[in-house]
A and B are shown apart, each in its own frame.
Chain A
Amino acid sequence: MERLSNLSYKNQRILIIFLFSLVPVVLLLTFSYLPVFKMFQYSFTSWDGFSKNMEYVGFDNYKTIFTKPEYFAVFKVSLYYFFATFVQMGLALYFATILSFNVRLKNWFKGILFFPTLLNGVAIGFIFLFFFKPEGTLNTMLDLVGLGAWQQKWLLNPHLINISLAFASVWRYMGMNFIIFLGAISSIGSDIYEASEIDGANRWHQFRHIIIPSIKKILQLNLILAVSGAIGVFEIPYVMTGGSNGSGTFVIQTVDVAFKYSKLGLASAMAVVLLGIVVIVTILQRVLIKEEK
Chain B
Amino acid sequence: MKKTKAVTGLAALTLMAGLFAGCSSNNNNADNAAATNAGNTGTGTEATAAPEGDAAKDIKGDITVITQRTDIVDTVFKDYAAKFNEKYPNVKVNFEALSSYEDQIKIRMSTNDYGDVLLLPTSVAIKDLPDFFEPLGKMSDLEQQYTGLEERSVDGISYGIPITVNFSGVIYNKQVFKDAGITEVPRTFEQFQTALQNIKDKTDAVPLYTNYAAGWTLTQWEADLATVAGDREYVNIAQVASDDNFVQGQPHYDLYKVMYDAAKNGLIEEDPTTTDWETSKADLANGKIGTMMLGSWAIGQIKGLATNPDDVGFMPFPTNASKILVPLSDDYNLGISLHSKNKEAARAWVDWFINESGYPTTEGGGMSPVKGAELPEILKQFEGTDVTFDTLAPAKAGEEGWVDAIDKEAEIGLWQPDFKKVIIEAAIGNRKDSYDDIMKDLNDKWKAARAKVTAAK
- Interface on A for B, CB 8 Å cutoff? 3-5, 12, 15-16, 19-20, 22-23, 26, 48-52, 129, 132-134, 136, 153, 155-158, 161, 241-242, 244-246, 256-257, 259-263
A262/B2 in contact, CB under 8 A = no
Given contact pairs A15-B9, A22-B12, A153-B271, enumerate 7 new A-B contacts (beta carbons under 8 Å): A12-B2, A20-B12, A26-B16, A242-B213, A244-B425, A245-B430, A256-B416
- Are the C-beta atoms of B413 and A260 separated by less than 8 Å? yes
Q: With A4-B2, A16-B9 in contact, do A133 and B418 touch (Cβ < 8 Å)?
A: no
Judge whether B274 and A134 touch: CB under 8 Å.
yes
User: Is A50's CB under 8 angstroms from B418's CB?
Assistant: no
- Whether the Cβ atoms of A22 and B16 lie closer than 8 Å is yes
With A51-B128, A52-B131 known as contacts, the answer to whether A261 contacts B408 (CB < 8 A) is yes
Nearest B residue to A257 via CB reads B411
Known: A4-B5, A156-B273, A261-B411. A245 touches B425 (CB 8 A): yes
6 nearest A-B pairs in the assembled complex, by CB-CB distance: A155-B273, A4-B6, A244-B421, A158-B430, A133-B274, A134-B271
B: interface residue count bin? 35 or more
State how many angstroms separate the Cβ of A164 from the closest Cβ of chain B: 10
Taking CB as reference atom, which chain B residue is nearest A157? B430
CB nearest neighbor in A for B12: A19
What residues of B have a CB within 8 angstroms of the CB of A16 in the complex? 5, 8-9
Q: How far apart are the CA atoms of A4 and B5 in the complex, in Å?
A: 9
Known: A4-B6, A244-B212. A256 touches B418 (CB 8 A): yes
Nearest opposing residue in chain B for A3, CB measure: B6
Measured in the bound complex, the distance between the Cα atoms of B405 and A263 in whole Å is 11
* B420: min CB distance to chain A, Å: 10
- Return chain B residues, CB-CB under 8 Å to A242: 213, 215, 417
Residues on B with C-beta less than 8 A from A132 are 274
State which residues 150-184 of B face A: CB under 8 Å.
none
Is B16 a contact of A156 with CB atoms below 8 Å?
A: no
| B238 contacts A by Cβ under 8 Å | no
Q: Which residues of B contact A4 (CB under 8 A)?
A: 2, 5-6, 9
CB of A29 to closest CB in B, whole Å:
13
CB A231 to nearest CB in B, in angstroms, measures: 22
Residues of B within 8 A of A (CB): 2-3, 5-6, 8-9, 12-13, 15-16, 19, 103, 106, 109-110, 123-125, 128, 131-132, 212-213, 215, 270-274, 408, 411, 413, 416-418, 421, 425, 428, 430-431
Contacts of B428 in A (CB 8 A): 156
B5-A12 in contact (CB<8A): yes
Cα–Cα distance between A130 and B416 once the two chains are bound (Å):
25
The CA-CA distance from A49 to B108 in the complex, in Å, is 12
List the B residue with the shortest CB-CB distance to A133. Answer: B274
Q: Quote the shortest CB–CB distance from B429 to chain A (angstroms).
A: 9
11 pairs across A/B with beta carbons < 8 Å? A4-B2, A4-B5, A20-B9, A23-B12, A48-B128, A50-B106, A50-B125, A50-B132, A156-B272, A245-B425, A256-B418
For the complex, give the distance between the alpha carbons of A161 and B418 in Å.
17
Indicate which residue in B109, B213, B416 contacts A260 across the interface (CB closer than 8 Å): B416
A48 with B274: in contact, given A23-B16, A245-B421 (CB under 8 Å)?
Answer: no
The residues of B that contact A20 with a CB separation of less than 8 Å are 9, 12
User: Residues of A contacting B2 with CB < 8 Å?
Assistant: 4-5, 12
CB distance A19 to B13 under 8 Å? yes
Specify which chain A residues have a CB less than 8 angstroms from the CB of B212 in the assembled complex. Answer: 244
Determine the main DSSP class of A at the interface with B: loop
Nearest CB of chain A from residue B449's CB, rounded to whole Å: 11
Contact between A52 and B128, CB atoms less than 8 A apart: yes
- Among residues of A, the one whose C-beta sits closest to the C-beta of B441 is A70
- Report the bound CA distance from A26 to B15 in whole Å: 13
What chain A residues lie within 8 Å of B103 (beta carbons)? 259
Give, as a whole number of angstroms, the nearest-CB distance from A70 to chain B.
9
Given contacts A5-B2, A129-B274, contact A51 B411 (CB under 8 A): no
Closest A residue, CB atoms, query B109: A50
Contact, CB under 8 Å: B430 / A246: yes
Measured in the bound complex, the distance between the Cα atoms of B8 and A15 in whole Å is 12
Residues of B within 8 A of A15 (CB): 9
Residues of B close to A22: CB separation below 8 A: 12, 16
Closest-CB distance, B417 to chain A (whole angstroms):
8
The interface residues of chain A lying within 8 Å CB-to-CB of B431 are 158, 246
Known: A155-B273, A244-B421. A262 touches B13 (CB 8 A): no
CA distance A16 to B273 in the complex (A): 55
Q: How far is the CA of A193 from the CA of B58 in the complex (A)?
A: 87
Q: A5-B6, A156-B273 are in contact. Are A262 and B408 (CB under 8 A)?
A: yes
Tell whether, in the assembled complex, residue A245 and residue B273 are in contact, meaning their CB atoms are under 8 Å apart.
yes
Q: Quick check: B128 and A155 within 8 Å, CB to CB?
A: no
Contacts of B125 in A (CB 8 A): 48, 50-51, 262
- A241: B residues at CB distance < 8 A: 213, 273
Q: Which of A129, A244, A261 contacts B413 (CB 8 A)?
A: A261
- A49: contacting residue among B8, B106, B274, CB under 8 A: B106
Q: Which residues of A contact B418 (CB under 8 A)?
A: 244, 256, 260
What residues of A have a CB within 8 angstroms of the CB of B8 in the complex? 16
A246 to B109, CA, bound (A): 34
Rounded to whole Å, the gap between the CB of B52 and the closest CB of chain A is 35
Judging by beta carbons under 8 Å apart, are B413 and A134 in contact?
no
Contacts of A244 in B (CB 8 A): 212, 215, 273, 417-418, 421, 425
Residues on A with C-beta less than 8 A from B416 are: 256, 260-261
From residue A112, how far is it (CB to closest CB) to chain B in Å? 27
Residue among B5, B103, B428 with max Cβ neighbours from chain A (10 Å): B5
Residues of B within 8 A of A136 (CB): 274
Which residue of A has the minimal Cβ distance to B121? A50
Which of A19, A26, A133, A259 sits near B9, CB closer than 8 Å?
A19
Q: Which residue of B lies closest to A27 (CB)?
A: B19
Distance in angstroms between the alpha carbons of A245 and B109 in the assembled complex: 33
Give the docked Cα–Cα distance between A49 and B9 (Å).
40
Residues in A whose Cβ lies below 8 Å from that of B3 = 5
Chain A hits for B215, CB < 8 A:
242, 244
A23 to B18, CA, bound (A): 12
Give chain B nearest CB distance to A11 CB in angstroms.
12
Contacts of B109 in A (CB 8 A): 50
Nearest Cβ on chain B to A73's Cβ, whole angstroms? 13
Report the bound CA distance from A242 to B110 in whole Å.
26
Complex CA gap A20/B215 in Å reads 47
A155 touches B271 (CB 8 A): yes
Name the distance in Å between A127's Cβ and chain B's nearest Cβ: 13
Of the listed residues A50, A134, A158, A257, the one surrounded by the most CB atoms of chain B closer than 10 A to its CB is: A50
